[in-house]
Amino acid sequence: MESALIVVDIQNDFCPGGVLAVPDGDAIIPAANSLLAAYPISVLTQDWHPLNHCSFASAKSLPPFSLDTSAEPPNVLWPDHCVAGTKGADFHPALQSWKARFIIRKGTRKELDSYSAFFENDGVTPTGLSGLLSSLGIQRVLVCGLATDYCVKATALDARRVGFKVVIVEDAIKGIDANPGDIDKAKTQMRDAGCVFAKTHELLAKI
């Protein structure tokens, strides 16, 4: 079965030292690099926002991590992060990004956020990734990266929705857990949607 690797948002702003650091976010980079070396069809995603993006607390004059209840559905407001063209939006320097075949940028429209690599948060605006993978004959995607409880989850659920088999690389994801339990909840949701969990060494042993 043709498989593609999706590496979600391993960017400076989501790693220790970044403005929206996922605890130990950089710890998954060695696993991501070994997967990138093994899978010839691979996609890196990059959160890539304009200034004053609708997901920025500063744009709404509200505190970071609060809920924007004026949005439908209400969405979490973040510190300004991954502004297009800035160092924070760059891939982490340890990520061997040159090994990847494709880069998909998301959240590029000011009025629309995007967690998933497949659709913007309205659930209908495609990024183009689904068509790209389908046209290459891909039936299964392996998902790793940041953050388990946001972009990894959204990517995995959308991949199921459009009909891909999904493997979550469980030792190559890290989450935020802003509310303790969020990571566990995300894993349950992914399992319930039919995602399978596997470890990097198990996947590499099968190639």
Catalytic residue set? 9, 106, 151
Strand pairing report for 42-47 and 67-68: unpaired
Q: Does 9 bind ligand VGL (CB under 6 A)?
A: yes
Residues 86-115 that bind ligand VGL (CB under 6 A): 115
Q: Helix or strand or coil: residue 24?
A: coil
Among 26, 47, 80, 120, binds ligand VGL (CB under 6 A): 47
Among 150, 155, 158, 190, binds ligand VGL (CB under 6 A): 150
Q: Does 78 bind ligand VGL (CB under 6 A)?
A: yes
Residue range at the interface with ligand VGL (CB under 6 A); choices 64-72, 143-151, 182-190, 199-207: 143-151
Ordered alpha helix ranges (H), the chain: 29-38, 57-60, 129-135, 153-161, 182-192, 200-205
Q: Does 80 bind ligand VGL (CB under 6 A)?
A: no
Strand pairing report for 42-47 and 3-8: parallel
Give the one entry of ligand VGL, Zn ion, none that residue 119 binds, where binding means its C-beta sits below a cut-off of 5 to 8 angstroms depending on kind: none
C-beta of 20: minimal distance to ligand VGL in Å?
6
Using CB atoms within 10 Å of the CB of residue 65, give its burial: 0 to 12 exposed, 13 to 18 middle, 19+ buried: middle
Contact set with Zn ion (CB under 5 A): 47
Binding mask 113-142 for ligand VGL (x = CB under 6 A): --x---------------------------
Give the one entry of Zn ion, ligand VGL, none that residue 150 binds, where binding means its C-beta sits below a cut-off of 5 to 8 angstroms depending on kind: ligand VGL
- Of 169, 193, 167, 192, nearest to 3 (Cα)? 167
Say how far apart CA 92 and CA 89 lie, in whole Å.
9
Strand pairing report for 75-76 and 67-68: antiparallel
Q: Helix or strand or coil: residue 98?
A: helix
**Residues forming the site for ligand VGL (CB under 6 A):** 9, 14, 47, 78, 115, 146-147, 150-151
